[in-house]
Amino acid sequence: MKLEQPDVSMLFSNTEISDVFFTEYLSQASGDFVKVYLYIVFLSKYGKDIKLNDLSKKLSLPLKTIQDALKYWEDFGVITKKNTGYIVNNLQEIELHKLYKPKLSSISNTEKNLQNQYRAKAIEAINTSFFQGIMSPSWYNDIDLWFKKYGFDEQVMLALFRYCFERSALHRNYIQTVAEAWAKNNIHTFSDLDLYYEKQEKFNVLKKTISKKLGLSRLLTQYEEAYIEKWTVDFGYSLDVIELALRKTTSKSNFSFDYIDKILSDWHDHNLKTPNEIEKFLSDMKQKNTSIKNLEKKSFQNYEQRKYNNFDSLYANTQKKA
C-alpha cells in the first residue's frame, strides 16, 4: 500500500529554521552571511541545484561575498562541502553532540557539590539576566569551561557577562577575549576585580590628564596608551615625574610619545624615582655642561692667544734677520 500526500503549492509551504540558529549563530554572522544561509536552507528543501554566479545574481550580492559566506558557515560546521555541492547540516544535532559528547574531566565529585550549587545559581542568574531565560544549552558547557580555565568565582563570572552585555557584545569570542585579559591581570575573586577596576579608573584619569597637558583633543592611540602604561606600571612613575618630562616638549614644535619615552627611560636607567632626584640630576647635568663649555671656551682662548704670541715672535725674529 502506497501512501502519498498531495503536492503542496509553494504558496502554502514553510521553511523551518531551528531556534538554535538564533541562539548560537545569528548574533555573530553578518547580515549578508545570514541572507545566504537562509536562502540555501530554502533551496535545500527542494533539492535545487544552483550555481554560485546564479546565487550571486539572485541575492544581489557580489560573488566574493557568496564565497566568503559559504566558507564562514562551513568553518562553523553549519554546512558540509561535497564534490557536488553542500549539505545543510542539522543544527540541533550539532548542538546535541556538543552537549552530550563524553567529557572525562567532567566526572562529578561529591566534594564539589556545594561549589556546583553556587555555580548553578550563577549560571541561572546569567540565563535570566542576559538571555531572557532562553540561553542555549551549549552556553552551559562554555561557562563551566571558563570557570575551570580561569578560576573565576561566581561573582566574577556574572560581572564578565554583564560587562559584555553592556557593550552589546554578548558572543563567545568577545567574552573569551575579556576573560583572557582578566585572567592575565590575576583576577579570580570579586575583590581582585574591584582592585582592577580601581587601577583602570586611575589609568583613565591619567590618560586624560596627559592628553590635556599636551593639548591633544583626540583619543590616544593604542601605542600611546602602551607608553603611558610602561611609565606607570613598569617604571612606577607618578604624574609628578611624568609631568617633568612633558615640560621638555614645550620647546618642540613636533613632539612625539617616543621622545617623551626616551626622557623617562633615561631617568629610569639612572634609577631616578622622585621629582627631587630628577631635579637634582638635571641641575647637576646643567652645571656639568656649563663647566665643560667654560673649559672649552678657555682652552680656545688660550690657543688663540698662543697663536697670536707665536706670530709676534716670528715677525720680530724675521725683522732682526732682515
Q: Name the band, by pLDDT with cuts 50, 70 and 90, for residue 62.
A: very high
Cα torsion 24, 25, 26, 29 to 10°: value is 150
pLDDT in tens, 20-46: 788 878 888 899 999 988 988 888 877
Q: Name the band, by pLDDT with cuts 50, 70 and 90, for residue 97.
A: low
Cα-atom radius of gyration of the chain, to the nearest Å? 36
pLDDT recorded at residue 242: 92
Of 53-57, 99-103, 151-155, which range is least confident? 99-103
Q: Any idea where the domains of the chain sit in the sequence?
A: 14-96, 113-188, 193-269, 284-322
Query: For residues 257 and 227, is the Cβ–Cβ distance under 8 A?
Result: yes
Please state, in angstroms and as integers, the Cα–Cα distance from residue 15 to each residue in 41, 51, 80, 127, following that order.
Answer: 8, 21, 20, 29
pLDDT recorded at residue 1: 36
- The candidate with the shortest Cα–Cα distance to 236, out of 207, 196, 276, 264, is 264
Q: Give the HSE-up count for residue 312: Cα atoms under 13 Å, Cβ half-sphere.
A: 6
Query: For residues 127 and 133, is the Cβ–Cβ distance under 8 A?
Result: yes
Take residue 301 and report the three cell numbers written for it. Answer: 682662548
Specify the higher pLDDT residue, 98 or 230. Answer: 230
- Per-residue pLDDT at 81 exceeds 80: yes
Answer yes or no: same fold for 14-96 and 113-188: yes
Contacts of 160 (CB under 8 A, 6+ apart): 146, 152, 175, 178, 179, 182
Query: For residues 87 and 79, is the Cβ–Cβ distance under 8 A?
Result: yes
- Tell me the CATH number for domain 14-96: 1.10.10.10
- CA angle 138–94–64, rounded 5-degree value: 105
pLDDT recorded at residue 130: 92
* Cβ neighbours of 211 (radius 10 Å): 16
Residues 108-121, mean pLDDT to the nearest whole number = 66
Query: For residues 130 and 161, is the Cβ–Cβ distance under 8 A?
Result: yes
> Where on the phi/psi map is residue 3: left (φ > 0), alpha (ψ -120 to 50), or beta?
beta
pLDDT in tens, 135-167: 888 888 889 889 989 999 999 999 999 999 999
Residues 77-105, mean pLDDT to the nearest whole number = 70
CATH level 3 topology of 113-188 = Arc Repressor Mutant, subunit A (1.10.10)
pLDDT recorded at residue 2: 42
Q: Name the band, by pLDDT with cuts 50, 70 and 90, for residue 103.
A: very low
pLDDT in tens, 168-181: 988 889 999 999 99
pLDDT in tens, 239-276: 999 999 998 887 666 778 999 999 999 999 999 999 99
SS (H, E, C) the chain: CCCCCCCCCHHHCCCCCCHHHHHHHCCCCCHHHHHHHHHHHHHHHCCCCCCHHHHHHHHCCCHHHHHHHHHHHHHCCCEEECCCCEEECCHHHHHHHHHHCCCHHHCCCHHHHHHHHHHHHHHHHHHHHHCCCCCCHHHHHHHHHHHHHHCCCHHHHHHHHHHHHHCCCCCHHHHHHHHHHHHHCCCCCHHHHHHHHHHHHHHHHHHHHHHHHCCCCCCCCHHHHHHHHHHHHHCCCCHHHHHHHHHCCCCCCCCCHHHHHHHHHHHHHCCCCCHHHHHHHHHHHHHHHHHHHHHHHHHHHHHHHHHHHHHHHHHHHHHHHC
- The candidate with the shortest Cα–Cα distance to 37, out of 95, 96, 89, 92, is 89
Mean pLDDT of the chain: 80
pLDDT recorded at residue 146: 92
Residues 94-113, mean pLDDT to the nearest whole number = 52
Q: Name the band, by pLDDT with cuts 50, 70 and 90, for residue 289.
A: confident
- Per-residue pLDDT at 115 exceeds 80: no
CA distance linking residue 50 with residue 91, whole number of Å? 23
